[in-house]
Amino acid sequence: MSTVTIQIRRKGVITLPVELRKRYDLNEGDVFTLEDLGDGSFLLLPRVSRVASLGDRVAEMMEDEGIGVKEMLEVLEEERESYYREHYV
């Protein structure tokens, strides 16, 4: 574990050192949770978007099953049409 010094800038902006961003693959727009430990200490935790996480899982499942985007869109269209017939016709 290493220690680095950072500074709060205008509007509360802090910059994480490039070494940490590269090591943990942190990018602009990434979301974090800042947890106040109550003794003046903070814990900064990366929080992966639930949508992105679920999207990655779907992509992995599709790849495992050998399903491409075209096939997925065709099945979704069939399901949409079926749902419409059941609920609106």
- pLDDT, tens digit (0-9, with 9 covering 90-100), for 10-58: 999 999 999 999 998 899 988 888 889 999 998 888 887 677 778 888 9
Task: Please give the single-letter amino acid code of residue 52.
Answer: A
Are 43 and 54 part of one and the same domain?
no
Assess if residue 69 is contained within a domain: yes
Looking at residue 78, what is its pLDDT? 95
Assess if residue 71 is contained within a domain: yes
Are 58 and 80 part of one and the same domain?
yes
Q: What angle do CA 79, 72, 51 make, to 5 degrees?
A: 95
Are 43 and 59 part of one and the same domain?
no
Are 66 and 79 part of one and the same domain?
yes
Structure tokens that stand for 55 in this block: 């999207």
For 35, other C-beta atoms within 10 Å of its C-beta total 11
Assess if residue 1 is contained within a domain: no
d(CA 53, CA 16): 23
State the pTM of this model. Answer: 0.48
Residue 76's domain comprises 50-88
Q: Nearest 5°: phi and psi at 81?
A: -65, -45
What is the count of structural domains for the chain? Answer: 2
Are 32 and 21 part of one and the same domain?
yes
